[in-house]
Amino acid sequence: MAAPARTRPAARKPKPAGHLVGYARVSTAEQDPALQLDALGGAGCWRVFTDHASGSREDRPELAAALDSLRPGDTLVVWRLTGWAGPCRT
């Protein structure tokens, strides 16, 4: 009788060494960041920073706080790059 074939275990995604830190931004106080917060939470972010600011504003205190909170091995996660970068200037 032949020996049963050996199967390889399914490949697993490597987990980041540090924490996932989320950043969400909405343009006005009336906008609801719930969709972004749900997505960032679903991605495994252990902490999410949220700014309510126009894209034309250069001061984003929660982005600064998110960047300051990062430690070696942490990953900053944004829902959309436009939320992080805002409008591009040339």
More confidently predicted of 51 and 90: 51
Where along the chain do its domains lie? 20-84
CATH code at 20-84: 3.40.50.1390
Contact status, residue 51 vs residue 60, Cβ threshold 8 Å: yes
Mean pLDDT (the chain) is 82
Active site residues per annotation: 27
Query: DSSP assignment, residue 57?
Result: -
Neighbours of 44 (CB within 10 A): 13
pLDDT for the residue 82: 67
Over residues 38-61, the pLDDT tens digits come to 999 999 999 999 998 766 667 889
Q: φ, ψ for residue 78 (rounded to 5)?
A: -120, 150
The H or E element spanning position 34 is: helix 34-42
**Residues 76, 62: contact at Cβ < 8 Å?**
no
pLDDT tens digits for range 67-89? 999 999 999 999 888 655 555 55
3-class secondary structure, 26: strand
pLDDT of the residue at 59 = 82
